[in-house]
Amino acid sequence: MNRFRTRTATRHTPVKSEKAKPRPVLYLTEEEREGLRAASRFNASILDMVRQKIGPGMTTLELDRMVNEYTLDHGHRPACLGYRGYPRTICTSINEVVCHGIPDNTPLDEGDIINVDVTTIVDGWYGDSSETFLIGRSSPDAVRLVQVTFDAMHLGIAAAQPGVRLTDIGRAIERYVRSQGMEVVREYQGHGIGRDFHQEPGVPHYVPKMGASQEILRPGMCFTVEPMVNMGTWRTFVDSRDNWTVRTLDLSLSAQFEHTVLLTESGPEILTLTETGPQPGHKFG
């Protein structure tokens, strides 16, 4: 879940204040890294559980209840429930919904795509990841969008190497997505994570024309890479009925994938890889 907006983004609709107070970038010790790894592994296990259950006819509220029970049964806490007033455990974003979709009694239909975004707290550490699921047989356009988004995330992760600039992540993502005739959402970004949900650094998935971060990536940093990719315009709006649900401005399809990444001395370590979900290089369809 991400309530950060990129600092250079233009507002298109009034929304709640979404920028947390800036905190210094944290560099995790080896002991701290183990705490974050454990939280991330548990978070990934939730998406594996969702994968076994999700399908046509299931409501997003049923998914939410399952994730809540699974989390509590394991002695952990849902991070999103009550966060800045958010009413559910997970975010479920269907078709033209970009992010922050609130679970309700809407049943999933054959051909839908849905992003399930999960964040949990395990012994004080936050695990955060999301995945877009294809419900039954989706259209070729939907499958292609999901594939491009998944590949873009992994290109961004691969670009996160010690000594490079933070903007190299967004550059890799934006260049690839635009080469595929699609657009990267600019209003929302990845974020640092650890014992706090959202912290520095913010991680844009494109390169802002002005104010691009000159932050140098160093071992011990941990952050999410979570591009949201639209079939049409990158512009979005927040649904005024709940002040949470974000939709594409032209109501075109949108997809998202998210991993938590620890930057080690030898490169990026993906902490939220699932056991049964798509691995780097996976082909959808």
Q: Which amino acid is at 162?
A: P
Q: Is 9 among the domain residues?
A: no
Residue 280 lies in a domain: no
Does residue 7 register a pLDDT over 80?
no
pLDDT band at 26 (very low <50, low <70, confident <90, very high): confident
Give the strand pairing for 183-184 and 228-230.
antiparallel
Question: Based on the structure, what is the number of domains in the chain?
Answer: 1
Lowest mean pLDDT among 18-27, 53-62, 232-241, 264-273: 18-27
Residue 213's pLDDT band, with cuts at 50, 70 and 90, is confident
CATH number of the domain bearing residue 144 = 3.90.230.10
Q: Are 154 and 277 in contact (CB under 8 A)?
A: no
> Does the residue 8 lie in any domain?
no
At residue 285 the predicted structure's pLDDT band, cuts being 50, 70 and 90, is: confident
Residue 22 maps to a domain: no
Where residue 9 falls among pLDDT bands split at 50, 70, 90? very low
Residue 20 has pLDDT above 50, yes or no: no
Parallel/antiparallel/unpaired status of strands 259-264 and 125-134: unpaired
- pLDDT band, residue 19 (cuts 50/70/90): very low
Distance CA 272, CA 41 (A): 6
Give 211's pLDDT tier (boundaries 50, 70, 90). confident
92-121 mean pLDDT:
98
Structural domain contains residue 206 = yes
Domain around 78: 30-270
Looking at residue 12, its pLDDT comes to 29
Q: Taking 70 as the threshold, does the pLDDT of residue 72 lie above it? A: yes
**pTM summary value:** 0.92
Q: Quick one: tokens of 15? A: 């929304």
Is residue 19 in a domain?
no
Mean pLDDT of 61-74: 98
In a domain, 285, yes or no: no
CA distances from 212 to 25, 27, 59, 166, 205 (A): 17, 22, 40, 9, 11
Q: What is the pLDDT of residue 247?
A: 98
| Choice among 4-8, 80-84, 113-117, 193-197 with the minimum mean pLDDT | 4-8
87 to 44, 243, 245: CA distances (angstroms): 22, 12, 12
| Structural domain contains residue 4 | no
Q: Which pLDDT belongs to residue 25?
A: 81
Whether the pLDDT of residue 21 is over 90: the answer is no
